[in-house]
Amino acid sequence: MPDHSVLQKWKARYLRLVKWQYFPFVLLALLLIPFYLFATGRFGDDAYFHIDSPLKDGLFSYISYQYNFWSSRIIIMAATAVLNVLPIAVWRVLDLAIWLLAGVCVSKLFVRNPRANYFIAGCMALYPYWHLGTAGWIATTTGYSWPLALGLFVFLTLKRLFENGRLPWYRYALCALAFLYATDAEQMCAIILAVLVFLAALRLFRRSAPAAYTRAVIVLLVLTLARLAFTMTAPGNHARLVESLHLIRGFENYTLWDKLFLGFDFTMTHYAVCTLGLFPLFSYLMMLIVWRGHKGFLPRCISAVPFASGVVFTATAGMRVLSYLGELLALRQERGFMNAIFDHGLLPEGPGMRLFFIIFFFCVLCSLYYAFGRRTDCLAAIGITLLGFGSQMLMGFTPSIYGSGLRTFIFASFAAIIVSLRMYEDLDASRRFGKGSKLLFLAAIIGNYAITFAIGLFKVDGP
């Protein structure tokens, strides 16, 4: 007969695990483990690193070459090179842990009700994960999702320092390592700089902050400016820029406004067309919360524009992509899937679309104001949205904006997750996020999971 005391102990442990506030991230890990086991192929940059390891002449020699002839991302490139000579299992474990770290950091930074962790885990499951395999799984994740997660860890450390006034020594050490890695990526470096400038300015009006927190903000701000100067003066970045000029005809003659509009058009194309897996959810929640809180025609009409444009443009572009699918797949190996789509003019562009994009973005900002009203949450939501949007607009300053594909949108995607989280909590608190919305959310996760496996199976670099 079974020992009932042992069964009771296991049952108690199971119940404790299920009731643990971070249990949703355990479910997320279980959902992703099959995908990690499947993602074994080395292609893109990973194939180069694996077959002809750049470390054969030594790590220092490799870093020196990268700095002088290719990129200022010396830490990221070193991590990529090292991981590619190790068994693929090392990357699987590290990447899953860092992906979960990003979710836990978002939770600790922004969650009010622990039940909302299920929403965060669901959003991360909804993220179009194939974007992180476009240059090879190791090369892309170390260059994009890792800086994101470690940058969030830096922000979490600052929050804990503000709340407690002091931290254990090892937390400072971990924060320093995370900061060095996160600022090695240009987009995350810009985000950290913007947040630190805001915190430093806020400190001028808030005298009650702990002295250790103030010192940390100032030190990190100075180091971020130094890191940005290092990036801008690295000879490798200039060499790479010159080598990439052929990707966009006449890019060397672009003015500042030309580059800004290039970044704006490319960014807004994917916001408005909703090729971002998380932006449809963002626009849906925004419309839902405005419609539930406002009866007027104008607020409802403005909030419906982002969601409606996604539905219309996604359906239209999707039908046109299907009509050219065979040719696009044939061009994918040479030009990349997104470049092939742009070559065929299957996504909207032109002066008329730029005007629509401006109206669209104005509607997003107004909808956030209607959603949150005259609260601090409103400024935070608009600020985070602008941070995500601005981090992607920076890509307009490089001719490889199209070649980088959609992996660079990960920062904008997490900005959408954070703002969507706040809208979800407001809706859930008033019991307005009903069963229909939850079922739609679940269906989207299942669909995204299936698409991720399908794209990984056929090694397509994503839409």
User: What confidence score (pLDDT) does residue 327 get?
Assistant: 45
* Residue bearing tokens 């020196």: 64
Dihedral, CA atoms, 104, 107, 108, 111, nearest 10 degrees?
Answer: -170
Please give the Cα distance from 341 to 332 (Å, whole number). 9
Whether the pLDDT of residue 275 is over 70: the answer is no
More confidently predicted of 383 and 314 = 383
Cβ atoms within 10 Å, residue 439: 10
Rounded to 10 degrees, the C-alpha dihedral 161/166/171/172 comes to 90
Tokens representing 394 are 């920076």
Q: Does position 404 have pLDDT exceeding 70, yes or no? A: yes
Residue 142 CA to chain centroid, in angstroms? 13
* Residue 263 in this model has a pLDDT that exceeds 90: no
Asked if the model's pLDDT at residue 328 lies above 60, the reply is: no
Contact in structure between 293 and 442 (CB atoms under 8 Å) = no
Asked if residue 319 has pLDDT above 50, the reply is: no
Average pLDDT rounded to a whole number, residues 285-295: 88
Mind listing the pLDDT tens digit for each residue in 176-187? 999 999 999 999
| Higher pLDDT pick, 328 / 19 | 19
The whole-number average pLDDT for the span 383-405 is 86
Round the average pLDDT of the chain to a whole number and report it. Answer: 80
The pLDDT of residue 101 is: 96
> Taking residues 316-344, what's their average pLDDT?
45
407: tokens are 């992996």
The Cα 268–Cα 305 span in angstroms is 14
CB within 8 A of 384, min separation 6: which ones?
415, 418, 419
Q: Which tens digit of pLDDT belongs to each residue from 91-118?
A: 999 999 999 999 999 999 999 888 889 8
Higher per-residue pLDDT: 427 or 173: 173
pLDDT band at 203 (very low <50, low <70, confident <90, very high): confident
Q: Rounded to whole angstroms, how far apart are CA atoms 32 and 129?
A: 10
* Confidence band for 437, pLDDT divided at 50, 70 and 90: low
Q: What pLDDT score does 345 carry?
A: 45
Buried b (16+ CB within 10 A) or exposed e, 15-30: eeeeeeebbbbeebbe
Predicted TM-score (pTM) of this structure: 0.87
Q: Where residue 242 falls among pLDDT bands split at 50, 70, 90?
A: confident
Check if the beta carbon of residue 348 is closer than 8 Å to that of residue 269. Answer: yes
Place of tokens 């090292």: 82
- Nearest by Cα to 183 from 216, 227, 141: 227
Q: Which residue did the predictor score with more confidence, 322 or 105? A: 105
Residue 436 pLDDT: 58
Higher pLDDT, 15 or 223: 223
Residue 335 has pLDDT above 50, yes or no: no
- With cut-offs at 50, 70 and 90, classify the pLDDT of residue 452: low
- Residue 145's pLDDT band, with cuts at 50, 70 and 90, is very high
Q: How many residues does the chain have?
A: 463
**Does the pLDDT of residue 344 top 50, yes or no?**
no
Tell me, what's the pLDDT at 458? Answer: 44
Task: Of 21-25, 141-145, 255-259, 338-342, give the lowest mean pLDDT range.
Answer: 338-342
Calculate mean pLDDT across residues 304-311: 82
Residue 82's CB is within 10 A of a number of other CB atoms, namely 17
410: number of CA atoms within 13 Å, CB side? 29
249 secondary structure, DSSP code: T
- pLDDT single digits (tens) 49-72: 766 666 677 778 888 888 888 788
Nearest of 314, 306, 424 to residue 365 by alpha carbon: 306
Q: Is the dihedral of CA 297, 299, 303, 305 positive or negative?
A: positive
Q: Is the CB of residue 17 less than 8 Å from the CB of residue 29?
A: no
| Range with the largest mean pLDDT of 98-107, 122-131, 399-408 | 98-107
Q: What is the pLDDT of residue 50?
A: 65
pLDDT confidence tier of residue 207, bands split at 50, 70 and 90: low
Return the pLDDT at 4.
64
Band the pLDDT of 271: cuts 50, 70, 90. Answer: confident
Residue 3 confidence (pLDDT): 59
Given a cut of 90, whether residue 202 has pLDDT beyond it is no
Q: How confident is the model at residue 340 (pLDDT cuts 50, 70, 90)?
A: very low
pLDDT at residue 430 in the model: 65
Asked whether the CA dihedral 115, 117, 118, 123 is positive or negative, the reply is positive
DSSP state of 22: T
CA nearest neighbour of 98 among 77, 63, 124, 130: 124
Query: Pick from 452, 372, 399: which is nearest to 262 by CA?
Result: 399
